[in-house]
Structure 1
Amino acid sequence: MFTRRTLLAAAGAVAATGLAGPHVARAAAPFQQPPLPYGEDALAPTVSARTVGLHYGKHHKAYFDKLNKLVEGKPYADMELEEVIRRAKADNATPVFNNAGQAWNHNFYWQQFKGGPAAPPAALVEAATRDFGGIDPLKAKMVETADGVFGTGWVWLVADNEKLQVLGLQDAGNPIAEGKAPLLGIDVWEHAYYLDWENRRTAHVKALLDERVNWAFVGERLAG
């Protein structure tokens, strides 16, 4: 799981992945953007270095900056990031939810491309075959769902009671807030693709799924 304190461990594998690990001392700001786990040109040509630089360095960073301002002096500042997402939704604290959700979503987003592309492990293939008819039909369902997200949002592959589902969620939509386990998430906000793909959102999503996703990472999330 992504946690605030593990994200602070910037040196070492835990900091690079943003995944769960031992807690460490808190920095001045309660929530810290983790390092990009590869160079800005690592996803090219599917995602250009320019897009990665803007997406990570401007958009992703801004969610952390805004979140830290919003939670200053409030109980949210002492929570883990996932807990903030759940609590803010329950509290109907929309600005906090949106920025916490987008901070977490992007932490996850960058990690799923690290070491990719990589083939899906057998357990993931089995689950995809059971629930969608195979990996290719699963990808097709994600592309179709991306096309159906009106405006801004995300397409998620999730596990729910051991069954795989594809969700299209608006804006900062997050599976954690829906009580589901995220396995793969594709950002369909225009800032994620427009410089490279213009208005061809579904082509961008298909290219990410075919060319950049580390399906071994997805399988690890399913097994975890």
Structure 2
Amino acid sequence: MASTIADCTDLFRKKLFGKTGKISEKTLEMHLGLYAIQVRRAKKLLSSIEEEDLPSDERVDGSLFRARKLDLSYCLSAAKSHELYFHMLGGGGGSPQGALREWIDRDFGSLDGFLRELRATALASDSWAWTCLDQASGRLINLLGDPRGAVPFWGSSPLLAIDMEDHAFLLDFGWDREAYLDALLGQIDWESVGRLLPLL
């Protein structure tokens, strides 16, 4: 079966360059390069897993198959989280509208309340922070991912992602993670985030 994992680097470059404020094009170019590596690695792993015979039951533990599956899980999680991250960048400020704003106000009391909790969640993470819609309860929830291979819980639809690993901010902000978050949260593309909101 051929891989269907797509590399969206060029699309994100066109969307974001010149539109991310204090997050520089140099940082974006490096960040997009890391994303492209994750996509290529995921494609290669998927192909190698599909082409090889499964190990016997007694040889699964410690096998190359197990190592490749773990690496594939990490690469796919990282690539998809980066896609969400790039998707939500490049907004001109402002605030969310429509159903997204209604749900934020309902579940967090206000946009300010949502942003405060999202910021605190991101600062508590060494890897990722996400805002997801829990399909079972129909409410928005902010989650963090540590270690870096962790993913949002099952049955949720991720709407935005914040990368808190060093490569996302070190060139532009040094170790000032708070300044990075302030810059990032001030230029969320709320329209793009709102388009990911599923119809319940």
Q: 2:22 matched to 1:46?
A: yes
Contact 1:40–1:53 (Cα < 8 Å) also in 2 = no
Q: Which residue of 2 aligns with 1:174?
A: 151
Mark the CA change 1:163 to 1:99 in structure 2 (over 3 Å): closer, same or farther: same
Q: Which residue of 1 aligns with 2:129?
A: 155
Question: How does the TM-score come out when normalised to structure 2?
Answer: 0.78
Q: Kindly state the Cα deviation for residue 75 of structure 1 after the two structures are TM-superposed.
A: 3.9
Letter in 2 for 1:156: W
Q: Which residue of 2 aligns with 1:198?
A: 174
Question: How does the TM-score come out when normalised to structure 1?
Answer: 0.71
Q: Which residue of 1 aligns with 2:55?
A: none
- Give secondary structure in 1 for the equivalent of 2:95: coil
Contact 1:155–1:185 (Cα < 8 Å) also in 2 = yes
Mark the CA change 1:174 to 1:46 in structure 2 (over 3 Å): closer, same or farther: farther
Contact 2:169–2:180 (Cα < 8 Å) also in 1 = yes
Superposed CA RMSD in Å reads 2.4
Contact 1:156–1:182 (Cα < 8 Å) also in 2 = yes
* Count of aligned residue pairs for this structure pair: 178
Q: Which residue of 2 aligns with 1:61?
A: 36
Q: Which has the higher contact order (CA 8 A, sep 6+)?
A: 2
Q: Which runs of 5+ in 2 are unaligned?
A: 52-65
Question: Which of 66, 81, 95 is 1:105 aligned to?
Answer: 81
Q: Kindly state the Cα deviation for residue 74 of structure 1 after the two structures are TM-superposed.
A: 2.5
Q: Kindly state the Cα deviation for residue 116 of structure 1 after the two structures are TM-superposed.
A: 4.2
Q: Kindly state the Cα deviation for residue 179 of structure 1 after the two structures are TM-superposed.
A: 2.4
Letter in 1 for 2:130: W
Q: Which residue of 1 aligns with 2:196?
A: 221
Q: Kindly state the Cα deviation for residue 115 of structure 1 after the two structures are TM-superposed.
A: 5.2
Q: Which residue of 2 aligns with 1:133?
A: 109
Q: What CA distance in whole angstroms lies between the structure 2 residues aligned with 1:118 and 1:101? A: 29
Contact 1:118–1:216 (Cα < 8 Å) also in 2 = no
Q: What CA distance in whole angstroms lies between the structure 2 residues aligned with 1:145 and 1:110? A: 19
Q: Which residue of 1 aligns with 2:6?
A: 32
Q: What CA distance in whole angstroms lies between the structure 2 residues aligned with 1:109 and 1:120? A: 17
Q: What CA distance in whole angstroms lies between the structure 1 residues aligned with 2:184 and 2:119? A: 10
Q: Which residue of 1 aligns with 2:184?
A: 208
